[in-house]
């Protein structure tokens, strides 16, 4: 068995898909591939950092808000204390009049010019206004409640406070206007400083955070990403770099799992691909039913043999083509299960019968091919073929407890004797096989060049026949059929004639039907030809009957191919309707070969034809297979004894006995019996004695053209003796 590279085309001849499976690499969004690999460009890092930065800022702004108020309050309290300590020493303890100011005017002038106190109002402890110094005051004490108030000017430059008796340690209440312009400035400074510190702190935290994220987050994520990209680009063979990240932390663990998945995916793909390739290889090169190599692999094996031979390694080898006889019948009548089982059995038997060096292949439905190097033990292809046919014949095949005796036709050719090219050697074996089939099957035929010539001639014949149809080279001759008891002409058989023009004196020659009809049958050309014959014959019969008042029946030959390849019933119906011929005036002659095809279909068709009213005759009766068993099943009207029995009846006891038996058989089945090939008075006498019903033959008339046939009928006196010579 040659080793087939898995990447070769599954079907080189048809150019079918290569059987190498390509894994589809995922298309990665190009945006992903350009994603940053540096922390400074990482969007996610920036987002986190910005969020952290803003949070720090927000928290610090909140804190600043609180500390700013405290800062201002503490500065104002300090100012108040400065004011108080500046005022208290100026109070003159000696003043007894409680409604006179305790602060001397000059002292007040000093106070206002040298200290933060810019204005001062003095009240008695009973809130009686006593005196006012310096700038006017906004805060005016009217009752006890107003002593707890302070006042700050809207520009923040002045701050008015109330100093009560216990602040002053004297029985007075004073309102002092203090210069607080420095407090606003200090507050501004404080805010500036604090914000700067805040920003620096945020920047520092952010930087540290970026570095930490880069190290612990971005780096491993980028590493994982590059692994995933490489895996998606080449899933079958991903480039997996060992991870430097600790698998016990979260991202390191995720990387380890991702890498494991990538590896598993790659393993799976390789596994599936391998299995699929094996399957494709099997489907492409092996027959699924028998498990044997198929035609492609067989031809490759042959090619290897021929190459080896060219290298001088091998001398000769046999190529055998084997076809099971009537396998289609088994399939049609017993079902495909049985057919399949037989094919498997045959394959198995051939394989075991052949040595290891042989290749046994199933190359077509019921066709096997074998090739084997010839050795000194088995040195002729015919020996191989005999071995094969003996293996098949050895014993019947058992299927579902039934026995099937299988027969095979075998064609044999030898390399290099019958061809140098592998295709040619197999073709020659096939040609020999066809010969074997034509010569009655169940035989071995060795290839000979003559076969090839015969095949070429057939092809030429087919081409000529096609032209003949178009060029009106076909015609019909009619041969009378007579009733043996009454002597009357009862009808005629239509026989096809092909006059093929040539350069001879006669302008052409008739091609014998036995030469061209098988070609027409094999090519299917018999269907249109047969339809033309039937239509022409029916038209002729209608013309005779109408013009001359006859009631003649026309017998038309119908091939098995017309049964299987066309709607014969439909055509008969149509022809009868179109020509106006009475159905009983048309007889269809079929040979027993129709029964070799699809039995069910044949029975169905014959019944349908019978229902139309046409007559049915079995032509060449006695020469076919197992005729008797079919007879009862079919709606037949007439048996036509084959002319060979009549020809030999007078000098061969067996043939006479067969003719006699056919007449009796026909009568016992209520059938008419007609004898063809009646050439002499003696033939006629024999048939009269055997009580045959009808006759046809050269004694009465050769097949002749329409006009001659009409002349024959009109000139005939109704007496068989008129044919005596």
φ/ψ bin of 140: left (φ > 0), alpha (ψ from -120 to 50), beta (otherwise): beta
One DSSP character per residue, 628-658 reads HHHHTTS---EEEE-HHHHHHHTT-HHHHHH
Q: Give me the least distance between CB of 713 and ligand C2E, in Å please.
A: 17
Question: In the Cβ-directed half-sphere of 717, how many Cα atoms lie within 13 Å?
Answer: 6
Q: Give me the least distance between CB of 574 and ligand C2E, in Å please.
A: 18
Report if residue 619 touches ligand C2E, rule: CB under 6 A.
yes
Residue 679's binding partner out of ligand C2E, Mg ion, none, with CB under 5 to 8 Å set by partner kind: ligand C2E
Q: Where in 553-582 is the site for ligand C2E (CB under 6 A)?
A: 557-559
Q: Which of these segments, 3-11, 145-153, 398-406, 584-592, binds Mg ion (CB under 5 A)?
A: 584-592
Q: Give me the least distance between CB of 520 and ligand C2E, in Å please.
A: 8
Residue 559's binding partner out of ligand C2E, Mg ion, none, with CB under 5 to 8 Å set by partner kind: ligand C2E
Q: Give me the least distance between CB of 640 and Mg ion, in Å please.
A: 6
Residue 49 or 479 with smaller CB distance to ligand C2E: 479
Q: Which of these segments, 247-255, 274-282, 618-626, 652-660, binds Mg ion (CB under 5 A)?
A: 618-626
Residue 55 or 722 with smaller CB distance to ligand C2E: 722
Residues 516 and 499: beta-carbon distance below 8 Å: no
Residues 703 and 479: beta-carbon distance below 8 Å: yes
DSSP H or E run through 176: strand 172-179
Q: 454-492: buried (b, 16+ CB within 10 Å) or exposed (e) per residue?
A: eeeebeebeebbeebeeeebbebbbbbbbbbeebebbbb
Report if residue 479 touches ligand C2E, rule: CB under 6 A.
yes
Residue 335 or 508 with smaller CB distance to ligand C2E: 508
Cis bond upstream, residue 416 (ω within 30): yes
Report if residue 491 touches ligand C2E, rule: CB under 6 A.
no
Report if residue 589 touches Mg ion, rule: CB under 5 A.
yes
Q: Which of these segments, 161-169, 183-191, 552-560, 574-582, binds ligand C2E (CB under 6 A)?
A: 552-560
Residue 449 or 567 with smaller CB distance to ligand C2E: 567
Q: Give me the least distance between CB of 563 and ligand C2E, in Å please.
A: 11
Residue 163 or 687 with smaller CB distance to Mg ion: 687
Residue 350 or 555 with smaller CB distance to ligand C2E: 555
Residues 537 and 494: beta-carbon distance below 8 Å: yes
Residues 397 and 345: beta-carbon distance below 8 Å: yes
Binding mask 511-550 for ligand C2E (x = CB under 6 A): -xxx--x--------x---x--x-----------------
The two structure tokens encoding residue 189: 């400074």
- When binding is defined by CB under 5 A, the residue of 367, 620, 684, 690 that contacts Mg ion is 620
Residue 703's binding partner out of ligand C2E, Mg ion, none, with CB under 5 to 8 Å set by partner kind: ligand C2E
Q: Which of these segments, 99-107, 154-162, 208-216, 552-560, binds Mg ion (CB under 5 A)?
A: 552-560
Report if residue 679 touches ligand C2E, rule: CB under 6 A.
yes
One DSSP character per residue, 21-61 reads PPPPPPPPPHHHHT---SGGG-HHHHHHHHHHHHHHHHHHH
Q: Which residues pair with 493 in a beta bridge?
A: 479, 555
The CA distance from 388 to 322, in Å, is 9
Residue 517's binding partner out of Mg ion, ligand C2E, none, with CB under 5 to 8 Å set by partner kind: ligand C2E
Residues 526 and 561: beta-carbon distance below 8 Å: yes
Report if residue 615 touches Mg ion, rule: CB under 5 A.
no
- When binding is defined by CB under 6 A, the residue of 437, 698, 704, 708 that contacts ligand C2E is 698
Residue 434's binding partner out of ligand C2E, Mg ion, none, with CB under 5 to 8 Å set by partner kind: none
One DSSP character per residue, 133-168 reads EES--S----SSGGGG--EE-TTSSEEEEEE-HHHH
- When binding is defined by CB under 5 A, the residue of 619, 655, 684, 690 that contacts Mg ion is 619
Report if residue 108 touches ligand C2E, rule: CB under 6 A.
no
Q: Which of these segments, 183-191, 250-258, 450-458, 615-623, binds Mg ion (CB under 5 A)?
A: 615-623
Report if residue 557 touches Mg ion, rule: CB under 5 A.
yes
Report if residue 703 touches ligand C2E, rule: CB under 6 A.
yes
Residue 499 or 698 with smaller CB distance to ligand C2E: 698
Q: Give me the least distance between CB of 479 and ligand C2E, in Å please.
A: 6
Report if residue 167 touches Mg ion, rule: CB under 5 A.
no
Q: Give me the least distance between CB of 346 and ligand C2E, in Å please.
A: 33
Q: Give, to the nearest 10 degrees, the angle between helix 526-548 and helix 513-523.
A: 120
- When binding is defined by CB under 6 A, the residue of 319, 496, 525, 641 that contacts ligand C2E is 496
Residue 677's binding partner out of ligand C2E, Mg ion, none, with CB under 5 to 8 Å set by partner kind: ligand C2E
- Pinpoint the alpha helices (H) of 169-325: 181-213, 219-233, 250-285, 295-310
Residue count, binding to ligand C2E (CB under 6 A)? 25
Report if residue 643 touches ligand C2E, rule: CB under 6 A.
yes
Report if residue 676 touches ligand C2E, rule: CB under 6 A.
yes
**What torsion do the CA atoms of 687, 691, 692, 695 make, to the nearest 10 degrees?**
60
Q: Which of these segments, 362-370, 574-582, 629-637, 672-680, binds ligand C2E (CB under 6 A)?
A: 672-680
Residue 697's binding partner out of ligand C2E, Mg ion, none, with CB under 5 to 8 Å set by partner kind: ligand C2E
CA 610 to chain centre: 47
Q: Which residues contact 669 (CB under 8 A, 6 or more apart)?
A: 631, 632, 636
Residues 5 and 209: beta-carbon distance below 8 Å: no
Residue 73 or 567 with smaller CB distance to ligand C2E: 567
Report if residue 480 touches ligand C2E, rule: CB under 6 A.
no
In terms of Cα–Cα distance, which of 528, 621, 623, 545 is closest to 586?
545
Q: How many CB atoms lie within 10 A of CB 368?
A: 27
Residues 651 and 622: beta-carbon distance below 8 Å: no
Q: Which residues contact 53 (CB under 8 A, 6 or more apart)?
A: 202, 205, 206
Report if residue 489 touches ligand C2E, rule: CB under 6 A.
no
Residues 317 and 371: beta-carbon distance below 8 Å: yes
Report if residue 297 touches ligand C2E, rule: CB under 6 A.
no
Q: How many residues does the chain have?
A: 725
Residues 248 and 83: beta-carbon distance below 8 Å: no
Residue 431's binding partner out of ligand C2E, Mg ion, none, with CB under 5 to 8 Å set by partner kind: none
Binding mask 453-482 for Mg ion (x = CB under 5 A): ------------------------------
Q: Which residues pair with 367 in a beta bridge?
A: 323, 364
Q: Give me the least distance between CB of 403 and Mg ion, in Å please.
A: 35
Residues 593 and 624: beta-carbon distance below 8 Å: yes
Residues at the site binding ligand C2E, with contacts judged by CB under 6 A = 479, 495-496, 512-514, 517, 526, 530, 533, 557-559, 589, 619-620, 643, 676-679, 696-698, 703
Residues at the site binding Mg ion, with contacts judged by CB under 5 A = 557, 589, 619-620
């Amino acid at each position: 068995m040659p080793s087939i590279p898995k990447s070769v085309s599954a079907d080189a001849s048809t150019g079918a898909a290569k059987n190498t499976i390509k894994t589809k690499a995922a298309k990665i969004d190009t945006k992903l591939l350009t994603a940053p690999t540096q922390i400074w460009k990482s969007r996610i890092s920036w987002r986190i950092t910005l969020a952290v930065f803003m949070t720090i800022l927000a928290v610090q702004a909140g804190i600043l808000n609180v500390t700013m108020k405290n800062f201002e309050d503490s500065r104002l309290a300090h100012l108040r204390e400065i004011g108080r300590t500046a005022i208290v020493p100026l109070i003159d303890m000696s003043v007894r009049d409680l409604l006179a100011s305790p602060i001397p005017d000059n002292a007040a002038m000093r106070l206002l010019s040298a200290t933060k106190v810019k204005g001062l109002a003095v009240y008695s402890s009973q809130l009686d206004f006593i005196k006012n110094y310096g700038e006017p005051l906004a805060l005016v004490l009217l009752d006890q409640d107003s002593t707890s108030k302070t006042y700050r000017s809207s520009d923040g430059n002045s701050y008015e406070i109330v100093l009560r008796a216990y602040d002053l340690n004297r029985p007075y209440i004073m309102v002092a206007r203090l210069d607080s312009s420095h407090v606003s400035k200090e507050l501004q400074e404080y805010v500036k400083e604090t914000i700067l510190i805040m920003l620096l702190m945020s920047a520092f935290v952010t930087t540290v955070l970026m570095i930490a994220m880069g190290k612990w987050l971005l780096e491993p994520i980028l590493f994982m990403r590059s692994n995933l990209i490489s895996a998606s680009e080449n899933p079958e063979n991903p480039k997996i770099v060992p991870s430097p990240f600790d698998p016990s932390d979260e991202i390191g663990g995720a990387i380890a799992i991702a890498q494991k998945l990538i590896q598993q995916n790659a393993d799976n793909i390789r596994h599936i691909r391998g299995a699929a390739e094996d399957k494709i290889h099997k489907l492409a090169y092996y027959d699924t039913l028998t498990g044997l190599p198929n035609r492609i692999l067989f031809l490759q094996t042959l090619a290897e043999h021929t190459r080896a031979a060219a290298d001088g390694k091998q001398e000769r080898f046999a190529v055998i083509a084997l076809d099971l006889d009537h396998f289609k019948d088994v399939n049609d009548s017993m079902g495909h299960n049985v057919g399949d089982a037989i094919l498997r059995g045959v394959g198995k038997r051939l394989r075991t019968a052949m040595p290891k060096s042989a290749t046994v292949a199933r190359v077509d439905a019921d066709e096997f091919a074998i090739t084997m190097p010839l050795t000194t033990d088995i040195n002729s292809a015919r020996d191989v073929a005999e071995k094969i046919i003996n293996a098949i014949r050895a014993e019947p095949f058992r299927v579902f407890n039934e026995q099937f005796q299988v027969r095979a036709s075998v064609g044999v050719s030898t390399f290099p004797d019958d061809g140098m090219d592998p295709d040619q050697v197999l073709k020659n074996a096939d040609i020999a096989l066809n010969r074997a089939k034509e010569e009655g099957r169940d035989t071995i035929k060795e290839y000979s060049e003559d076969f090839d010539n015969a095949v070429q001639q057939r092809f030429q014949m087919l081409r000529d026949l096609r032209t003949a149809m178009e060029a009106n080279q076909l015609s019909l001759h009619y041969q009378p059929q007579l009733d043996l008891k009454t002597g009357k002409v009862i009808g005629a058989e239509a026989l096809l004639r092909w006059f093929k023009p040539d350069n001879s004196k006669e302008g052409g020659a008739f091609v014998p039907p036995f030469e061209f009809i098988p070609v027409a049958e094999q090519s299917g050309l018999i269907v249109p030809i047969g339809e033309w014959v039937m239509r022409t014959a029916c038209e002729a019969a209608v013309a005779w009957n109408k013009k001359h008042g006859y009631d003649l029946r026309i017998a038309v030959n119908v091939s098995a191919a017309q049964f299987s390849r066309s709607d014969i019933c439909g055509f008969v119906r149509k022809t009868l309707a179109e020509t106006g011929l009475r159905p009983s005036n048309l007889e269809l002659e079929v040979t027993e070969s129709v029964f070799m095809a699809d039995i069910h279909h044949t029975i169905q068709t014959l019944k349908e034809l019978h229902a139309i009213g046409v007559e049915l005759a079995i032509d060449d009766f006695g020469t076919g297979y197992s005729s008797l068993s079919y007879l009862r099943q079919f709606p037949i009207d007439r048996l036509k004894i084959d002319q060979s029995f009549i020809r030999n009846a007078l000098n061969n006891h067996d043939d006479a006995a067969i003719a006699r038996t056919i007449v009796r058989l026909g009568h016992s089945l209520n059938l008419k019996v007609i004898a063809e090939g009646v050439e002499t008075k003696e033939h006629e006498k024999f048939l009269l004695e055997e009580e045959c019903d009808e006759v046809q033959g050269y004694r009465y008339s050769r097949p002749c053209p329409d006009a001659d046939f009409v002349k024959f009928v009109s000139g005939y006196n109704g007496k068989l003796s008129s044919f005596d010579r």
